[in-house]
Structure 1
Amino acid sequence: MEYFTCISLKEAKQLLMNALAGRIVASEPVSLDEAFERIAAEDIVSKEDLPPFSRSTVDGFAVRSADTFGASEGVPALFDIVSEVAMGQETCVQLQPGQAVTIPTGGMLPAGADAVVMLEHAERPDNNSLLVLKAAAPGENVVLKGEDISKGHCILRQGQQILPQDIGALAACGFEKVPVRRKPNVAIISTGDELVNVACTPVNGQVRDINSYALAAMLAEAGCLVRRYGIVQDQYEELRTAVSQAILQSDLVVISGGSSVGARDHTVKVIQELGNQDVLFHGMAVKPGKPTIFGMIGKVPVFGLPGHPVAAMTVCGQIVKPAVQALLGQKSGNVYTIPARLTRNMASVPGRDDFIRVRLVKKANEYRAEPILGKSGLISTMAMADGIVHIPADKGGLYSEEIVQVNLITKP
């Protein structure tokens, strides 16, 4: 099978989404302190009002705002202090016209009050009297019951990643457990007679296994539980055995290397035989990453990625990560971008999506994106990069000084 009749990146993503439609991993409850960066498995709705009572945001005096209208330092409004709100306790006071109640920050607003006068805007001629020196507007220095989060409000949407601020909202509403998607199990298989483990010293013709470690880190960051199956030699039976084991234990399988059309590239044949069907695509019009494979073995998506590290990582970001998001029920993942001015012309081939590594340099009040040139087998070009610039298939390149969107490789 020849892959040079490549499909576009857009077509590849559509085939991928069609194949994974409805294949969402199961949910599981986790404690609130384990929920960070997990994916909500359902809409999470507040069962109560937050705050559960109207409260003061300052130390001062709870009053009826209408009683303060017209008050000034020259003509203060006079109030009788009838009670004091204790912190953390309910108050049963019903405020009447001309009355005030001493209240601390966070204290429960008494019935009848609709504003709090700050200490700085009041004087106490004696223990039972209050002079208000400035008019208070309705709701001033007050948080009303349910103003933060109302009962029935959706705190988290299904498929949403749970961030620190979401943890705070869930804690405030009393959620000790949170239903989240199980982390997808991902298997990574590295292929190649030339590969040796990172602990080995390569001899002539050998290289250390880069891809299984780099891809494992990328997919762990995407929310997966990753298992590296080690190095598989360029032997059909050995690869078939490794893939057969991996699909029994995994939600997704990534094969690094063996995606070209050489005599020792067996990935396509393994997917075809184990899946009893043709692969869905073999080859994408992208650079780097042209010899990319995708197929299904039963319900398990299987990817064949190029052996060159930069190509493998680029395709992982463009194809494998969206597959993970589909398994997690996410409509889209978090993409961190920053605008920057390109420092040189970058040519591209119309009809092909190009992904350019760039280094970001802050100059004056803007970022400048400096392209990092190098072949897709050079991992140093990825290690030096801060982000990726996408040249779409309908463009013939980018011009120097053009403002581009840089997709950051790591979170800001």
Structure 2
Amino acid sequence: MQFFKVKTVEETFSLIEENIPAIEQTEVRELAEALHYILAEPVIAKENVPSFDRSTVDGYAVRAKDTYGSSESMPGFLTLVGEVKMGEVPTVSVSNGKAVYIPTGGMLPRGSDSVIMIEHCEDVDGLLNTYKQNAPAENVIRTGEDIKEGEILVNKGTKLRPQELGALASLGITHVSVFRKLKVGYLSSGDEIVPYQTETLSAGQIRDINYLTIAGLANEWNVDVVYGGIVKDDFDEFKQKARELYDQVDGLILSGGSSVGAKDYTTDVIQSLGDPGVFVHGISIKPGKPTILALANGKPVIGLPGHPASAMIIFQLFGQRILRKLKGEKTEHKPERIFARMTKNIPSSPGRSDYIRVHLFEKDSEWWAEPIIGKSGLITTLVKSDGIVEITSEKEGVLQGEYVPVFVSR
């Protein structure tokens, strides 16, 4: 037989990368309406974030060297000379032996280089007792430390998650250029298939539940679905309905009729839609071996097995990859929850659960998690992260090379 030459999973992924093009049509959307769209051009920062040195905690702006030697048993003493008000430029400055109260997010006053946390000191009638020594820049985010003017903040092909929207909003960006939303068609085939709303089944009939599961997944991926209904096992009717649906959409999903049975017309119907046609018919996977993937005049066509479990698994594994490639998204495959190996030691305090943002990468057929270390107020740590590692309260940290569960952000 011409078709049904089984490919491995990795071969199938490679063929998807080689064959599926990205759409070219873009649109400009308001930032608030761009969630899950794919960025069509890189965004370059036109200003620094933050635009001023600011505090990351409630505390006192000081010169770090004035706190050296401070401890619980031997506190230091500073004179409190004023406070910083939110949203205002400080009118006071910090000099030798002086301190200024500052709230979280407040602008650092002239002369200061760090902020001592409020819980590490005590104001006694204007005399500030310091019980911990500070290092320069401690509890401070410097101008441009989060985002530097002129750098690429978000690259073309990036899916706009909530964290990307937040980073863009921090630059005052209100509109973004994105690839337009995809629209795919779905068509079920089989003499035995009836609408899922059918109350009473006749002998041998099966409700079409695949439409709801497959369309539901596509909707979760921000793709609209046009339902083409159910077609009987008649080649001419199947071909006509497939063509009518194909002409309306960016891609076509056919459920059922992907095996090698005498009445399985899917491969012939797909070939009739356009060149180059089928590039995968059969994948070395269980369930879902009789899967068809094709490209017809620039539009992908997916022939799913009729069995609901097989159809859903195949669509999640390969259909999602195809749709991501089609809508212009960078297609590195990263599952939703995995075990990965840590690239370095991460200490943690017992009795407290720590959540560490990580970047995932594949090395020697294993996933590795690179901790993204940064101050809690930095927006870019969110953008750079692929997921979160939990260090539970009973642990004192994780060791380099240790396997940890990673919750992948999409």
TM-score range, shorter chain: 0.7 to 0.9
Give the aligned residue type for 1:194. E
Provide the C-alpha distance between the structure 2 equivalents of 1:286 and 1:230, rounded to a whole number of angstroms.
28
> Cα distance, 1:74 vs. partner?
5.4
TM-aligned CA distance change 1:406 to 1:262, over 3 Å: farther
State whether residues 325 and 332 of structure 1, in contact with CA within 8 Å, keep that contact through their aligned partners in structure 2. no
Shift of 1:94: 4.7
Partner of 1:287: 286
Residue 191 of structure 2 is aligned to residue 193 of structure 1: yes
323 and 258 in structure 1: CA distance in 2 versus 1, 3 angstrom threshold:
same
What pairs with 1:9-408 in structure 2 (closer than 5 Å)? 9-20=9-20, 22-70=21-69, 76-79=76-79, 81=81, 83-119=82-118, 121-125=121-125, 134-200=132-198, 201-275=200-274, 279-329=278-328, 330-338=330-338
- Matched residue of 1:61: which SS? strand
Deviates more, 1:230-239 or 1:114-123: 114-123
* Alignment deviations for residues 245-288 of structure 1 (CA, whole Å, 9 cap, x no partner): 22222111011112233332222222222315553232233322
Determine helix, strand or coil for the equivalent of 1:138: coil
Instruction: Give the TM-score, by structure 2 length.
Output: 0.73
* 8 A contact 2:75–2:132 mirrored in 1: no
Distance 1:290 1:407 in 2: 30
> Residues 313-363 of structure 1, C-alpha deviation per residue, up to 9 Å, x if partnerless?
222223222111211232224412345xxxxxxxxxxxxxxxxxxxxxxxx
Provide Cα deviations, 1:200-223, integer angstroms capped at 9, x if missing partner. 122112111122222111222233
- Relative distance call for 1:191 and 1:90 in structure 2 (3 A) is same
Deviation (angstroms), 1:230: 0.7
Q: Answer yes or no: is the 8 Å Cα contact 1:57–1:143 preserved in 2.
A: yes
Which blocks of at least 5 consecutive residues in structure 1 are unaligned?
340-403
Report the CA distance shift for 1:144/1:90 in structure 2 as closer, same or farther (over 3 A): same
Amino acid aligned to 1:34: E
C-alpha contact (below 8 Å) 1:185/1:252 kept by paired residues:
yes
What displacement does 1:299 show? 1.2
CA shift in 2, pair 1:148/1:192, >3 Å: same
Could you tell which deviates more after superposition, 38-47 or 308-317?
38-47
| Bigger CA radius of gyration | 1
Q: Percent identity?
A: 39
Contact 1:2–1:261 (CA under 8 A) maintained in structure 2: no
Structure 1 counterpart SS, 2:278: coil
The 8 Å contact of residues 25 and 327 in structure 1, kept in 2 or not, is answered as no
Q: 1:16 to 1:112 in 2, by over 3 A?
A: same
Partners of 1:9 and 1:406 in 2: CA distance = 24
Query: Which secondary structure state, in structure 1, belongs to the residue aligned with residue 90 of structure 2?
Result: coil
Q: Does the residue aligned with 1:212 lie in a helix, a strand or coil?
A: helix
Q: Structure 1 runs of 4+ off > 6 angstroms?
A: 404-408
| Partner SS for 1:148 | coil
Structure 2 unaligned regions, length at least 5: 340-402
Which residue does 1:379 correspond to in 2?
A: none
In structure 1, C-alpha distance between the alignment counterparts of 2:150 and 2:9, rounded to whole Å: 41
AA partner of residue 158 (structure 2) = Q
Alpha-carbon deviation of 1:198?
1.1
CA apart distance, 1:25: 4.6
Say if 2:85 and 2:103, in contact at 8 Å, map to a contact too. yes
How far off its partner does 1:305 sit?
1.8
SS where residue 286 of structure 1 aligns? coil
CA distance in structure 2 between the partners assigned to 1:313 and 1:285 by the alignment: 16
How far off its partner does 1:93 sit? 4.1
Residues 232 and 238 in structure 1, CA contact (< 8 A), matched pair in contact too? yes
- Change beyond 3 A, Cα 1:101–1:280: closer
Q: 1: distance between equivalents of 2:222 and 2:11?
A: 25
Q: 1:256–1:305: 8 Å Cα contact kept in structure 2?
A: yes
d(CA) in 2 for partners of 1:332 and 1:60?
A: 43
Counterpart code for 2:89: E
Q: Report if aligned partners of 1:257, 1:304 keep a CA contact under 8 Å in 2.
A: yes
Distance 2:75 2:269 in 1: 90
- Aligned to 1:42, the other structure's residue is in SS state coil
Is this contact kept in 1: 2:121–2:128, CA < 8 A? no
Partner SS for 1:280: strand
- Alpha-carbon deviation of 1:86? 2.2
Distance across 2 between alignment mates of 1:275 and 1:75: 80
SS in 2 for 1:287: coil
CA distance in 2, matches of 1:215, 1:75: 65
Q: In structure 2, do the counterparts of structure 1 residues 93 and 292 end up closer, same or farther at CA, with 3 Å as the change threshold?
A: same
